[in-house]
Structure formats: C-alpha cells, structure tokens
C-alpha cells in the first residue's frame, strides 16, 4: 500500500497525448539545436588549439635556428 502511494507520487501527472507530442517535438528541436551548438563550439576550440600549437612550433623552430646560427658564428671566431 505504501509502495503504491510512493510510486504514484513520483510519477509525472497525466497529460493529453496531443500536448505531450507537441512538447516532445519542441524538446527535440531544442536538444538538436543544443547539440549543434556544442559541436560547433568544440570544433572551434579544437581548431584554435591546433592553430596555437602550430604557431608555437613555428616560433620554436625559428628561435632554435637563430640560436644555432649565433653559436656557429661564435665557434668560428
């Protein structure tokens, strides 16, 4: 008896099928938009991190090359 009351308490209130169908379509559209937005943000952030890594790599190589030229020039003296 107590189990029935508790289970009925946690159940959602009954709604008409037409309104629940309309709600589910709206919820699906909002979920779809949310998923697309999250995907776009993740792709954008990932691309930004990749470009930043390439930029850092280019700076590292140019600095390394400059230092090697300076060391080579000082050894020749």
pLDDT digits (tens, 9 = 90+) for 19-45: 555 567 677 777 888 889 999 999 999
| Ranges of each domain in the chain | 26-77
- The Cα–Cα gap between 50 and 45 comes to 9
Average pLDDT, the chain: 79
Higher-confidence position of 2 and 27: 27
- The Cα–Cα gap between 55 and 58 comes to 5
Residue carrying the six token digits 């140019």: 62
What's the pLDDT at 21?
59
* pLDDT band, residue 47 (cuts 50/70/90): very high
- Stretch 1-21: mean pLDDT: 56
């Amino acid at each position: 008896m107590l189990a029935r009351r508790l289970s009925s308490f946690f159940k959602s209130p009954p709604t008409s099928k037409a309104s629940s169908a309309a709600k589910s379509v709206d919820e699906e559209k909002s979920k779809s938009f949310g998923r697309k937005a999250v995907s776009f943000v993740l792709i954008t952030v990932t691309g930004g991190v990749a470009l930043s890594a390439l930029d850092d790599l280019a700076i590292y190589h140019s600095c390394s090359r400059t230092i090697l030229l300076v060391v080579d020039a000082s050894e020749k003296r």
